[in-house]
Amino acid sequence: MTDTLFTNVWIFDGTGAARFPGEIAVRGERIAAVARGDDRLDRAGLAVVDGHGATLMPGMVEAHAHLTWPSSVERVIDAMKLPPEEHLLVTAQNARITLDHGFTSAYSAGSLGERFEPALRDMIDAGHLAGPRLRASALEKGAEGVMGVPAGHDPTHDRSITGLRAYVAEMKAIGCDTIKFLMSSDEGFAPGGSQVLMYSEEEASAIGAAAREAGIWLACHAQASEAIKRAVRAGFRAIFHCTYADSEALDVLEARRDTLFVAPAPGLLYARCHEAEAFGIGPDEAARMGAISGLELMQSVIPEMRRRGIRVLPGGDYGFPYNPIGRNARDLDLFVRLFGFSPREALAAATGQGGQLMDLPVGEIRAGLFADLLLVAGDPTEDVTLLEDKINLLAIMKGGRFHKPPVQQSL
Ligand SMILES: [Zn+2]
């Protein structure tokens, strides 16, 4: 592997601090050294990449990834379930597209093939396939047919305490890092669904105990306040959506803010409100699916979470025909425009805090961490929308290797 020195770059280090001019040495798969200002690093044995004043930042983390949701910016697929062989190949393609768009890590929010993601993660880690570092998840667990939960989410549902414990152990055994449960239903499944609880307090706490015993993380779809509270009490680590959180639910989240993460996934609601007409979701349907009111609610709930210091991360349920994989960076702009994050705060949530979510040495630029880096044209700390066009991603490095090598200008 060639070792690399990035020079003449502005460095955004993922902590939320202002970017600074400097250079970075990468040796092997890790960042070896960072220099500020006019300091110069040892160049011996390093291939020099002149950034010409571009921004060097950590690769982004998608906090609510569904690589098995079929549609991408390269390919719209008007179905959620495909024959398994084709589905697995589309999933691998989606992993590559996610990385092409600057996401070097992805935390899964559920997979339609329960063995797909552990296999994909291992193939990516071994260098056989291009894709982000992946925290692999199992099949979403819910109650098929209850309040419109779509078929395919749960073919083998045993809701007994013994059945739930066995399911958790089985997902650990097949190599999942996390399991996704539907703690509540959703307006998108059926009107009123968001307030329907899918697991009792007893069931949730049995799931939590089983997961702690097995050493596997828990994630959940939670809309209703009680669903959020139940999940937090049971020790769930990633809580998705939280659109209908009341002040009590916010208190519970805040009390555990050092051990949990929220990913509200505004991208999907935004797409249903503004970009889905060509796909049969006009204003009336968007309203019926709760997207319009949901997006409005999020605009008061998420700023309040931010104020309380709860870690809220971008990641927007991409993979639907009208919300395709590859558009993921748009979530950062929604954090700025809808939730009042500064561009730098949104970037820090997508990088530094994303690294905390992954629980891997990624998401920041400092010596010792994996060299997962983006070289970006312009200043994304002022304008996060730059990240939405992959033309602006001048180079993408993951683990010290270029996924997208820089085009070296000869001046
Ligand atoms: Zn989702």
What does the pLDDT look like over 278-322, one tens digit per residue?
A: 999 999 999 999 999 999 999 999 999 999 999 999 998 999 999
Query: Is it the case that residue 410 has pLDDT exceeding 70?
Result: no
pLDDT more than 70, % of the chain: 95
* C-alpha 64 – ligand 1 centre gap (Å): 6
| pLDDT value for 150 | 56
CATH architecture of 3-58+362-404: Roll (2.30)
* C-alpha 24 – ligand 1 centre gap (Å): 36
Domain assignments of the chain as residue spans, ordered by start: 3-58+362-404, 60-328
* C-alpha 139 – ligand 1 centre gap (Å): 11
* C-alpha 329 – ligand 1 centre gap (Å): 16
* C-alpha 184 – ligand 1 centre gap (Å): 12
* C-alpha 239 – ligand 1 centre gap (Å): 11
| pLDDT value for 57 | 98
* C-alpha 66 – ligand 1 centre gap (Å): 7
* C-alpha 236 – ligand 1 centre gap (Å): 16
* C-alpha 334 – ligand 1 centre gap (Å): 17
* C-alpha 316 – ligand 1 centre gap (Å): 7
Query: Is it the case that residue 411 has pLDDT exceeding 50?
Result: no
What tokens does 35 get?
A: 């220099």
| pLDDT value for 157 | 57
Phi and psi at 213, nearest 5°, equal: -65, -40
* C-alpha 240 – ligand 1 centre gap (Å): 8
Domains 3-58+362-404 and 60-328 equal at CATH topology level: no
pTM as predicted: 0.95
* C-alpha 315 – ligand 1 centre gap (Å): 9
* C-alpha 254 – ligand 1 centre gap (Å): 22
Of 88, 237, 111, residue with least CA distance to 176:
111
Query: Is it the case that residue 145 has pLDDT exceeding 50?
Result: no
* C-alpha 27 – ligand 1 centre gap (Å): 37
Q: How do residues 182-225 score in pLDDT, each as one tens digit? A: 999 889 888 898 998 989 999 999 999 999 999 999 999 999 99
Distance CA 114, CA 131 (A): 18
Query: Is it the case that residue 156 has pLDDT exceeding 90?
Result: no
What tokens does 25 get?
A: 């040495």
* C-alpha 402 – ligand 1 centre gap (Å): 30
Q: Read off the pLDDT band of 155 (50, 70, 90).
A: very low
* C-alpha 272 – ligand 1 centre gap (Å): 14
* C-alpha 352 – ligand 1 centre gap (Å): 22
Q: How far apart are the first and last CA of the chain?
A: 27
* C-alpha 110 – ligand 1 centre gap (Å): 7
Domain 60-328 matching CATH 3.20.20.140: the answer reads yes
* C-alpha 383 – ligand 1 centre gap (Å): 26
Q: How do residues 322-351 score in pLDDT, each as one tens digit? A: 999 999 999 999 999 999 999 999 999 999
Query: Is it the case that residue 269 has pLDDT exceeding 90?
Result: yes
